[in-house]
Amino acid sequence: MNQTNFSSLKLRDELVSNLASLGYSSMTPIQAQSLPPIVAGSDVIAQAKTGSGKTAAFGLGLLNRLDVKRFRVQSLVLCPTRELADQVAVEIRKLARGIHNIKVLTLCGGTAFGPQLGSLEHGAHIIVGTPGRVEEHLRKGSLKAADIDCFVLDEADRMLDMGFEDTLNKIIAWLPKKRQNLLFSATYPESIQGMAKRVLSAPVMIKVDSDHDERSIPQHFYKVDSNEERRNALRLLLLEFQPESAVVFCNTRQEVRDVHEQLRAWGFSVLALHGELEQRDRDAMLVRFANKSVSVLVATDVAARGLDIDDIAAVINYQVAHDPEVHVHRVGRTGRAGSSGLALTLFSSREAHKVAALNVEVDPIMDALPLPGRGVLKLEPPRPPMITLQIDGGKKQKLRPGDILGALTGEGGIDGKAVGKIQISDNRSYLAVARKSAARAIEKLSTGKLKGKNFRVRQIT
């Protein structure tokens, strides 16, 4: 039997058949190495990058051991950010489609506490959440931990970087002693090693090298001599390569603001992602970028944590990361799932020691490339191919993606190929529509009805 096929594992029949219907024919390297010990019930430490398929690895593990008839919280998954928790919950629900009546609940900060209390009163099998909010529910008694037998720490290094160690320790103290522990982390610093010793029992250690290499992510380095040249270099590179989507990493919030303001003045479609944003504004911003209705996202590393968008065409390091591991994490956001990607790094003489410390295929200093010529200034900034529409109705109004798609593509509507991602939150829905079809889409949704009701629709880009 092929050891990379999901059928080679001792998984429930419902899970295997659902995987086939989802088109999951063979396991990724992290799945192939981690799933056998996970299914066997062992504790696991797995070092793998975002985008490696790790969510399906632990998701299948916890679903395989779940007893649906016991309507108790049996699995707890902790993530560093609300965005990642939402993505993980969506993936687990997708994997669980073949098993009836499984309830997955998200508990994250940045959202109202009251509705979560109501949801918990109705019960759940799997909780996916952020440390602060989960600890609060445990402390207040609204979340019962007595039946949790599978505990997952996803992106554990990021949680420690964000200062969650004390909160994690408090959560762990609430959990039953007898449980399976799964720790997934992109890096494995000393802080993670210390936590692993306290939390896990005889863990199986797994490390999967990133799939990214010079063939999928060519890394280009450019030397700049001043801040003014750095700003102009960014403009030249964006015009030269014309990426459909690009993340520009800066080291401080102020630099994010400055770069965002300058790019906007030059006519680029750009957003600034920083830690001072309200959660609702952050959510809408990430939706717009994921939908390809905005071309450039300028962000700090802290603000970009939990950013899990599959098809980012280019990453530009406006400044060199302070830590080589952070550089790897930045670059790993492009070239996902075997697609091509591009990583461009600007550095000055003062940053030469930082680029020299990077573990890359080229010599960043000796092999630094010349910047594009000023002739590219004749080019127009890349125009986003999509626009994003917001509908003032969501899950609580019983809206589903199929309702929105049907309303758009019905009689006199737009071509289904012009519709991109549809994302539905509690009270809002977002959808991507090809720019050329935007006016007709707005008219169709505004004058028609969804679930027999009229909803306000507007373009947010």
Identify the CATH number of the domain in which residue 420 sits: 3.30.70.330
**Once rounded to an integer, what is the mean pLDDT over residues 355-383?**
87
Residues 342 and 438 in one domain: no
Residue 108 and residue 62 share a domain: yes
Does 200 share its domain with 66? yes
Please give the average per-residue pLDDT across 388-401, as a whole number. 89
- Please tell me the total count of domains within the chain: 3
Query: Quick check: is 212 in a domain?
Result: no
Q: Which of 44-58, 198-212, 237-251, 276-290 has the highest mean pLDDT?
A: 237-251
126 has pLDDT over 80: yes
Higher pLDDT, 400 or 58: 58
- Asked if residue 177 and residue 301 are part of one domain, the reply reads no
408 CB burial (10 A radius; 0-12, 13-18, 19+): buried
Are residues 87 and 177 located together in one domain of the fold?
Answer: yes
The pTM score is 0.62
Range of the domain at 194: 6-207
For residue 190, being part of any structural domain is answered with yes
pLDDT per residue over 58-76, tens digit each? 999 999 999 999 999 999 9
In a domain, 68, yes or no: yes
Together in a domain, 421 and 301: no
Q: Are residues 441 and 308 in the same domain?
A: no
CA-to-CA distance for 53 and 329, rounded, in angstroms?
Answer: 16
Higher pLDDT, 48 or 303: 48
Side-by-side strand order, sheet with 44-47: 104-107, 126-129, 75-78, 150-154, 180-185, 44-47, 204-207
Query: What's the pLDDT score for residue 133?
Result: 94
The pLDDT score that the predictor gives to residue 339 is 56
Task: Encode pLDDT of 75-104 as tens digits.
Answer: 999 998 887 888 899 999 999 998 888 999
Do 247 and 298 have their domain in common?
Answer: yes
Q: Is residue 213 part of a domain?
A: no
Judgement on whether residues 225 and 167 belong to the same structural domain of the protein:
no
CATH of the domain at 325: 3.40.50.300
Domain stop point among 378, 408, 432: 378
Q: What pLDDT was estimated at residue 3?
A: 58
Structural domain includes residue 117: yes
Do 164 and 131 meet the contact criterion of CB atoms below 8 Å apart?
yes
Residues 421 and 356 grouped into a single domain: no
Mean per-residue pLDDT, 17-43: 89
Q: Could you tell me if 383 and 294 are in contact, meaning their C-beta atoms sit under 8 angstroms apart?
A: no
Last residue in a domain, options 207, 235, 258: 207
**Which residue has 């979560």 as its token pair?**
116
Question: End of a domain among 378, 408, 433?
Answer: 378
Same domain, yes or no, for 256 and 179? no
The answer to whether residue 165 is domain-embedded is yes
Are 22 and 70 in the same domain?
Answer: yes
In the structure, what pLDDT confidence band is assigned to residue 214 with cuts at 50, 70 and 90?
very low
Instruction: Identify whether 324 is part of a domain.
Output: yes
214, part of any domain: no
